Amino acid sequence: MTGIDTVIDTVVERAAAAGTKWRATPAAERATILEGVADALLKHLDELWPVADAETHLGEVRLRGEVGRTASQFRLFAEVLRDGGSAEAVIDHADPGATPPRPDVRRMNHPVGVVAVFAASNFPFAFSVAGGDTVSALAAGCAVVVKAHEGHPETSDLTASVVRQALPDPDLLGLVHGFDAGGPLVRHPLVSAVGFTGSLAGGTAIKGLIDQRPDPIPFYGELGSVNPVIVLPSADAAAVAAGFAASLTLGVGQFCTNPGLIFVPEGPDGDRSGFEGAIGDAVAATTGGRMLTAKIHDGYLRAVDRLSGRAGVARLATGAAGTAADAVTPQVFSVSLEAFADGLPELGEECFGPTAIVVKYRNLSDLPAVLRRLPGSLTATVHAAAQVGGQGAGQVGVQGADQVGGQGAGPEEAADIVPVLERLAGRLIWNGWPTGVAVTWAMHHGGPWPASTAPAHTSVGAAAIRRWLTPVAYQDWPEAFLPPELRDDNPLGVPQRVDGHLRT
């Protein structure tokens, strides 16, 4: 056994031991502890953000806000635990008169075990040691071992120290460092599930390690996403351009929800004075900055070089460089829909950073076939002048649409696109921008491969807890041995589905 193997073995075994008591802790008590973690993060805010800024260059405003978001995640999962619905308690009473006779069967969710979490580079708090994977796993009753990201090791150490002060057992949150730690952590027999936010290459490597285990375990990875934006002819060009440039360059483009493709109507005879021109002008007015790590910086430059050398792809605009010597410049490229389709799948790959491709179409009817060929994404966005008719309406309308290639952009064209987007992405946005993911009960942050490895699950929002829970059914079990959530008197007051009827 190597030195790193010994370290991993010790950390995981301690986490597993701490997790045994943690999983038996009542949900209400776990909720109070999670709120204590939120308080601790905010109490140490003035210590946390400067360390993160020194390692990531993200700035005080961004990092203060991210610590606040991280604390809010802990408070949300405290609410989830008090609600009790994540237990998914189901009771089917015995029915001797059924054919065949039916036994008494009761089912609820239990913690899956020790969860390994790979911290992300671009969110040193919200997707790292104290991020959404960690808090949702702790809420589920699991112990967590985090592999720190090499881009912010000191931030990781400090954050872990703050969180541990609020936990009943510091071993509930293990922390390991180094590239070589990933393999032994994933392979450890006491690790029951893995959460990951990062590159497609990194996620594929982890999946390969899991497949080599004698007992493959669930892998919940968020890998890569181009987040297409479809602009209908009725949209306002100036508003779209301004919003797009702001979203593209937010955080120097280092968001998993960065809009990497934007489909716009082509002007008459290729005239660039419309959407294409407005977007070019808006991006040209932006300023870049330093990226998170040298590795990310170099990867961005290689991706830009690949786009620059593609046939049919033209550089539309370049922003200004930041003041730092290693700052990058925002860039946007332009291509026809036909040339873009010919360049797939390569032109549909994510470029992590402030670069995107403007894809020009002449007929809306040509879009669905091309959109179906895109890789899965976290988000897909539609921009139009019209609003969705009524709250939660199922129809999409475009009022007063312009003509594109002799074809009107009416409701029927938007309706043809929406079903394609529903199969392409996990979150659909109307007249907004994908950067920024609300931490709510309804949020879904996932999508078809390669956006995530498990599109039925989310890494953000209340439903993220489901990844770390596994159901157990009890057949004809003695009342005294049943978990409180499955007893007929329901002492905890959790929602129960009894003989097919939901009781809250």
Q: How far apart are CA 169 and CA 180, in angstroms?
A: 27
**CB of 90 within 8 A of CB of 109?**
no
Active site residue 13: no
Q: What are the backbone angles phi and psi of residue 300, rounded to the nearest 5°?
A: -65, -45
Cα 269 from chain centre: 40
Give residue 227's identity as a one-letter amino acid code. Answer: N
Active site residue 413: no
Q: How far apart are CA 300 and CA 322, in angstroms?
A: 15
* Helices (H), ranges, 24-93: 27-43, 45-56, 60-83
Q: How many CB atoms sit inside 10 A of residue 103's CB?
A: 13
The two counts, helices (H) then strands (E), for the chain are 14, 19
**CB of 261 within 8 A of CB of 244?**
no
Rounded to 5°, the CA angle 216-222-223 comes to 100
Report, in this order, helix, strand and coil percent for the chain, each rounded to 5: 40, 20, 40
Q: Kind of pairing, strands 425-430 and 377-383? A: parallel
Closest CA to 140 of 257, 40, 255, 220: 220
Q: Which of 55, 66, 142, 222 is catalytic?
A: 222
Q: Kind of pairing, strands 219-222 and 229-231? A: unpaired
Closest CA to 334 of 385, 281, 376, 379: 281
Q: For residue 291, what are its two tokens? A: 């990226």
Q: How far apart are CA 246 and CA 279, in angstroms?
A: 11
CA count, 13 A, side-chain hemisphere, 339: 14
Q: Which of 55, 142, 256, 276 is catalytic?
A: 256
Burial of 158 from C-beta contacts in 10 A (0-12 / 13-18 / 19+): middle
Q: How far apart are CA 229 and CA 358, in angstroms?
A: 10
Q: Which residues contact 436 (CB under 8 A, 6 or more apart)?
A: 250, 257
Biggest CA pair distance of the chain: 79
- Tell me which residues are annotated as active site: 222, 256
